[in-house]
Every structure is written in structure tokens, then in C-alpha cells.
Structure 1
Amino acid sequence: MAKRERRVGYGWPVLLAIGVHIAALMLTVIKWPESTPDPTSSSVVQATLVRAETATNQPQQTKDATPPATSQPKDQEDASQPAASPPPEPSDQPTAESDVQIPDEVVEEAKAQAQRLQEEARRAAQQRAEAERQRQKEAAQRQAQAEAERKRQAQAEAERKRQAQAEAERKRQAQAEAEQKRQAQAEAEQKRLAALAERAAQANASSLDELISEEQQSIANAEQASEAANGFKNLVRRYVEQSWNLPSNISSDLRAIVQIQLLPTGELVSATILQSSGNSTFDRSAINAIEKASPFREMSKLDASVRDQFREFNLDFNPEDIR
């Protein structure tokens, strides 16, 4: 590229210099009329030659083009005129002008390269910024997920503790009720034995045997009545369980106590919430189950003393069973 630029830069100046030298040589060989030579002619030629040599950007010395100071005869002028020097060879050394003048293609290529580098730097910076934003986003997501997991575990632990406490409370109440029932039975037995002893002390031996027989019969009747009562309550519980549509997504520690009032025929008088579970849907499902399962016709077949026990009684509802 540089070599081609030097050929383009030196071509015309060299041709111009050659033309000037030929013109000067022709002026020297042509015989002009005798007259006072124009002192400015040689100067014009010399000035033209100097300008032509300057255009080639080569340091040239023009010692052979010195104009005569005074007018001389034609012969002296011919004798003093030196022969035309050959045209200067193009120099391979770069000139100051060639150093300054840069081809347009190089300039455009340099600009394009600078723009490409700038664009690549901009894209790299944009990619780094995007990567940093993505990293921060992922870090925030991981932190949020960790926080959500921590809260979930904390809630699960709190729910487990609450259910454990509720189960412990249910067992405690069941034990308390069983103990209360045992104490009542023991007191009743003590009273019965005391009454029997008092009656035996007042009667003779024959009457004592009769009293013992009557007591045994009474015990047998009471056992039958208790069995009948338990059987009827289990029957009611089974009917209600079959009619109960337990709501979905219900906690296992819910508990509701419902009071039931029946006629001697087993028809339902009312079903009332004595102790709410705190969940209206659960409470309402228990009431609906009782209403759907009634009437309980088997009640009319019970002994009168047993029927009286079920004129009013309670059912304990929880998601696992009914008591």
C-alpha cells in the first residue's frame, strides 16, 4: 500500500520536472535575435524548476540553474550554459509530506477498528452488568427461598407442638373423667354395702338370704341395663358416623361437643353445640350428621330406666372418631 502511494505521489512532480528541464534545454540551443537578454527569463525558468523540485518533496540542489548576473554575448551564453541534468530518481526515502498524508483507506479502517473495539467494550460492560444483575437476582431468590423454608419449618414445628399439647390435654381430660367415674362408682358401692349391712343387721338370717338374692338380681338388672345403654349409644354413634361428611382440609385436633335430646320414640328434639371447635364448618357438619342419622327407633325397645338416660346425652366429635 505504501509503495503504491509513493508511485502516485511522485509521478506527476517527476514528469513536471523533466518537462521543465527540456524546456530549459531548448531555450539554450535556439538562437535568438541579438538583443539584450531578458535577465528575468533564466530566473523564471529557475523558479519554475525550484517549484517543480519542491513538489516532488525531494531535497534537490539547483546549482546548475544559476542565472547570469549581466547580459553576455550569445557565444558566452552558450558556453556558460551547462547541459541539462537528468531528471532526479524517485527516492525511496519517505518525505515529511508522505509521513503526514495517510491514505483514506487506512484512516477509515482505523476508525472502523476503533468503533469495533468501543462496541466490544460496551457489550462486555453490558454483559458484566447483566451478569451482576442476574447474580444479585439469584442471590435474592435463594435468600427468599431459604427464608420461606425457615418459616415453613417454624410453622410446622409450632403446629406439631400445638397438636401434641392438644393430644396431651385430651388424654388428661379422658383420664380425669375416668378417675371421676371410678370414684363415683366406688362411692356408690360403699353406700350400697353400707345400706346392705344396715338392712342385714335389722333382719334375721332368712331375710338376709332374701336380701342377698334381691341384690344379686338388682346387680344383674343393672348390668343388663348398662350393657343396653352402652349398646344403644354405640348404635347412635355408628349411625352418626355413617351420616357424617367430614369437611376437607380440617385439622386433626378439632373437637366439638354436641348435646342431643330425644323423645322416648327416638325422634330428635334438638342438637346443640355445647363446646365449639372454633371452626364453624366443622361444628355444622356434626349437627348435620346427627339430623341426618335421626330418628333412632331402637330407643323405644329399651327399658324405661335406660330410655331415661338417653333423653339427653352428649356426643364428642373429633376428626378421628365420635365418642
Structure 2
Amino acid sequence: MSTKNRRLDVLRAIVSDYVSTQEPVGSRALVERHALGVSPATIRNDMAALEQEGYIAQPHTSAGRIPTDAGYRLFVDHLAALKALSPAERRAIETFLFEAVDLDDAVERTVRLLAQLTQQAAVVQYPSLRRSALRHLEVVPLANGRVMTVIITDSGRVEQRTVTLPDGAAAPDEAEVADLRVRFNVAAAGRRMPELGLSLRAVPDVVAPGVAELARQIAEVVVETLTEEVEDRLVMAGHSHLTRSPLDFYHGLQPVLEALEEQVVLMNLLADVASEGEAGGDVTVRIGAENGYSPLAHASLVAAPYGREGTGDALAYLGVLGPTRMDYPGTMAAVRAVARYLSRFVSPLE
């Protein structure tokens, strides 16, 4: 075994022990708990080298060492495999999520499940309208010269918009409403933006003159809804898990809780992760200072995309936030598994 690989093994052992014991790890503990196949003197030399390279550090006057952010990063980057979920865990995830009755229910279930599985604070982003396609458009006449459009995306997200009839225009009758509904849904079939916008905006040219202006307004409101730069929605759970975190994290807990309340911080983090994720990889880990936000200097974010199954098309992200001292293999496996199950839920039926 090369010196580099042996030192990686020592680092893995230090991370494992520190996460499980919450105590700095000394060379004697490594000898007793791990079959590293080398002498205690060699382990001490490897620990000295890891410390010199900035991967571990000595807190206070303790004889033991703890991983640094750089050490956690090296550990995560060299994970050979994620911790496998048990068959019972997989069945529990599938059963719990597939009992959801709609998208809102699925998102709420997902965030609670993720917090429970990881014992961290969990966050789930609603599917972005800008990345969605139109599955169905409903047109519903209302009183007082108004028409409601119900926009259902292929991810199950539902948006309602109201259109006011032009001054002096007669309300459409049942046949005209039915014709508008059919024409818009035919125009939308199998199309995404910007092709979808062009197709919807062509509908007013082929309907009865009396409803052409209404059709134009409906087309515009649907296109604007699917392309508008609205603030994405986040759902969070598991804040209480952070209060039970180790003392070294607990002292910096208040800024983390404030960051969770300030959803714009998480939105920006997930936006950064999204741009990073497009380059590849299904789970992204941001450790400490990598978050780029000083109150999260002692926290890690583990996030994964979810979206249309089998396409690689991410609709949004989900993840967990917790102390840098976390079970990375287990947390990453849970985040990835839950993201895949949620992807099945939001994937349109063929």
C-alpha cells in the first residue's frame, strides 16, 4: 500500500471515530479500534503528516486530533461507496412517499422523512415553474366577467390565474370554453418552452372571433406563469435536531438557525449547488467555508437534484444542513435515495 493510500485510511479512521465518539482521536485509539496493518509509530507519523497538510488539527491541548474542513473534503472526495440503505429503510421511503396524494403532500412528507433519516435539518425546494412543462390547462368561467385558468405542470405543481374578459365582451358559453380547453391542451402536448410559448400564442388565430381576445390573454398568462422569475418555495423540517448537535457546533447554532429562517440564504446556496450539479454528480457536499456564508462556517450542506426520472432533468433540489461532524456516507446515501424516490413521484406518467 502506498503512503498516500495508507494516510487516507488513517484519515478515514479519524473521521469515523470522531463522528461516532465526538471526542478527539489519538493514535492509541486508532491502533485499538482499526486494523490498519501498521505500527503505532507509523500511525503517529501519518497523523503528523496529515496535520502538517492541514487535514487534521489538535484542539486546545488535547492529545487527540479532529478533522478539519479540508480533511472532511478529502474524506468525502475519496468515498469509495455510499452506505447502503437497508431493505427496510428503502421500503419505508417508498411506502411513505407513494402514499402522498398530491405534490404539496409529497414535498411535506419528503422533508419530514429526510429530517428523520439523517437527524439533521432538511430542506426541499418546490419544482421550479421555469423548468416545468404544461401537463394540463383547465379553463373555468367565473362570475363578474372573469375566467380562471388552472395550470397543472408535469411535476404536479398547480397554479391558478384569473383573466378578466375584455370590456363589453360576452362571457363564453360552454361550447366555447370546451373548445378553448381542447385547443390549448393540444397546442401544449409534448412541448416545452420556448416552443410551448409559440404554440400557445397561435391558438387565438384558430378560435372563434368572439373568444380570440380571451384566448390571447389566457396564452399570455400561461406563458408568463411558466417563465416568471418568482421566488422559489422551500419547505423545511428538523430544526430541533440541530439543538441536539455536539457542543462545538451548538455554540455556533444561532447563526445557523437564523440562516434557516432567512430562506434567501438557502435559496442562494441551492442555486450555487444547481449550477455546480449541472456539471455532473448526483450528490453535492458543501463543507464549512465552502458554503460561502460565514454563519455556516461550522455547517455542511448535502444536496441532490430531483426531477423527471431517467432524463437527468433537474426540477429542484433537496438536502440537509447539519454540523461538519456528520455521517457523510449515511447522509449522502439518504439524500440520494429520497431524491430518487421523489423523482418517481414528480415524473409524468406515460
TM bin, normalised by shorter chain, reads under 0.3
Bigger-Rg structure (1/2): 1
Structure number having the greater strand percentage: 2
Kindly indicate which of the two structures has a greater share of residues assigned to helix. Answer: 1
When normalised by structure 2's length, the TM-score is 0.18
